[in-house]
Structure 1
Amino acid sequence: MSQKNSDGKRSARERLQEQREREQARVKRKRALIAGVAVAVVLGGGAGVAALVASSGGGKDNKQQTSGPLVAPQGAMGKDNLAIPVGKPEAKATLAVYEDFRCPACALFENGYRDTVHDLEAKGRLKSEYHLVTLIDKNIPGTGSLHAANAAACAQDAGKFTAYHDELYKNQPPETDDAFGKKDRLLELADKVGLNSPAFKRCVEGGTHNSWVQKSQNTFSTSGLQGTPTVLLNGKSIYGPTTPLTPQKFREMVAEAQKG
């Protein structure tokens, strides 16, 4: 392996580690704030309750974004229909990915392993299950994670989840830029993959699957899983700052998983 390639892989691992550390630090700060507010609730009554609602993302704007009936996208599966499946159902190896469209570390995984995952899916060796969450919206904050996830669910309704999912990651804005919070931008990217039907546009603009996305986030937050992306192969974590992975190693792991 050349020194240049070695440096590139190390750099990718370091960026992933830094992203995970930033997310963990935000979570710790948020927990500390909520704990402090809880004390204020005991000491100060109603004023503390209002502060807790605001700090935990429960304000008026957030409620408006996720109000309405819970509508799962077509073909969603698993517990509470929270997973979007890709690939042939008979594949013995299952890749479960928990991701946020605003998450830079998620883009590192998607852009680095996309071709390998799609090749294995096409050959019937792997099926994937995508769980869409909104961690960055809560940490930065913003609405891009929610709106992009809803749009991806709308793409699933139209039979073009994979193409749109990939287009979002190819065009991911910087983490602090809430560009995906703008529905016009989401529709612009949809045009690139032929998603321009009136039904898709209504789904995106109306937030048809917002409550489903919020349910997915709530389930993730109580699951014990740590950060995004969380990547599991047949239930085992295979990707992270302390879990080096290459496309070739991933292929070998899938081959082993197929043996049952």
Structure 2
Amino acid sequence: MQVRSRRGFLVAAAAITASASVGACRSRNEGSGGGDDPLDVSASAHLPAAPESLAADGTTIVLGDPGAPLAVRLYEDMSCPACAEFETEGTAPYLKRAARNGALQLQFTLGSFLGPGSKFAANALRAALDQHKFADYHDLLYREQSRVRKSGGFTRDRLLGMAIMIPGLRGPEFDAAVLETKHRDFVEAADEVLRKSPVQGTPAMAIGGVLVPSDSHALFTDRSRLYRRLKKATRAEE
């Protein structure tokens, strides 16, 4: 997990050198899914792409139906190793499937406290949203994060190079937005939202507006436990 002090966010060395030890992203229990419960969605389910939108606050990127009563917010920094582990090995893929299945809206607040590379990546993701490719590009950047980090982090050129792997993403509008940091206002505003929030590290999660305690590691790693928490939150919304 990445943590912050009173002077701002700092990188936790343990998260960089041994992120597998961080409770947020150790394992995954997928389950089979099925039936009439949209939250009980399996890894093998064939699902349509989730709608992608920018919320009215101008800083939240939403996957899924923005009118869905159940909202799960994720706080991330694209350069955070623990976030990458959560997104590739933890319960984040399940949350994205649930959003694609209409069970919830998945909201992203993208911080950029880990330096210029995080800001470049957040800007590029905002540009990808304009092309309706946020989810695909977001997944790709986290899959490639470890390799990119070893070579110095996200740069504009690296972000464009990786974008080639997403069909339909590269083009004059996207390329210019990345190279010119078109969405710098979005990047700074989203980072400010994270800075002013009660979040003490990333990844962090809020379910139905309630921040998951930092010691609730199982919700970041165990699909079954997260499912049960989401079911409880869904009943509360009814």
TM-score bucket of the superposed structures, by smaller chain? 0.7 to 0.9
Q: CA contact under 8 A between 2:218 and 2:225: conserved in structure 1?
A: no
User: Which of these residues, 151, 154, 159, is aligned with residue 124 of structure 2?
Assistant: 151
Number of equivalenced pairs: 188
1:40-189 to structure 2, matched below 5 A, reads 75-79=53-57, 81-111=58-88, 112-137=90-115, 143-173=116-146, 178-180=152-154, 182-189=155-162
Letter in 2 for 1:93: L
1:254: which partner in 2?
230
Q: CA contact under 8 A between 1:125 and 1:254: conserved in structure 2?
A: no
Q: CA contact under 8 A between 2:218 and 2:226: conserved in structure 1?
A: no
Task: Give, in whole Å, the separation in 2 of the partners of 1:237 and 1:151.
Answer: 27
User: Which of these residues, 198, 204, 214, is aligned with residue 188 of structure 2?
Assistant: 214
Q: Helix, strand or coil: the match of 1:99?
A: strand
2:197: which partner in 1?
223
The answer to which structure has the higher strand fraction is 2
User: Which of these residues, 193, 196, 211, is aligned with residue 166 of structure 2?
Assistant: 193
When structure 1 is superposed on structure 2, of 126-135 and 85-94 the one drifting more is 85-94
Identity among equivalent positions (%) equals 29
Stretches of structure 1 that go unaligned for 5 or more consecutive residues are: 1-18, 32-73, 138-142
2:46: which partner in 1?
none
Per the normalisation by structure 2, the TM-score is: 0.72
Task: Give, in whole Å, the separation in 1 of the partners of 2:224 and 2:216.
Answer: 18
Call closer, same or farther: CA 1:201–1:239 in 2, change over 3 Å. Answer: farther
Q: CA contact under 8 A between 1:164 and 1:193: conserved in structure 2?
A: yes
Letter in 2 for 1:91: A
After superposition, the CA RMSD in angstroms is 2.1
Q: CA contact under 8 A between 2:70 and 2:104: conserved in structure 1?
A: yes
CA apart distance, 1:247:
0.9
Q: Helix, strand or coil: the match of 2:198?
A: coil
Task: Give, in whole Å, the separation in 2 of the partners of 1:104 and 1:241.
Answer: 18
When structure 1 is superposed on structure 2, of 125-134 and 144-153 the one drifting more is 125-134
Call closer, same or farther: CA 1:239–1:152 in 2, change over 3 Å. Answer: farther
CA apart distance, 1:103:
0.5
The answer to which structure has the higher helix fraction is 1
Stretches of structure 2 that go unaligned for 5 or more consecutive residues are: 9-51
1:69: which partner in 2?
none
Q: Helix, strand or coil: the match of 1:172?
A: helix
CA apart distance, 1:97:
0.9
Q: Helix, strand or coil: the match of 1:232?
A: strand
Per the normalisation by structure 1, the TM-score is: 0.66
Task: Name the structure, 1 or 2, with higher relative contact order (CA <8 Å, separation 6+).
Answer: 2
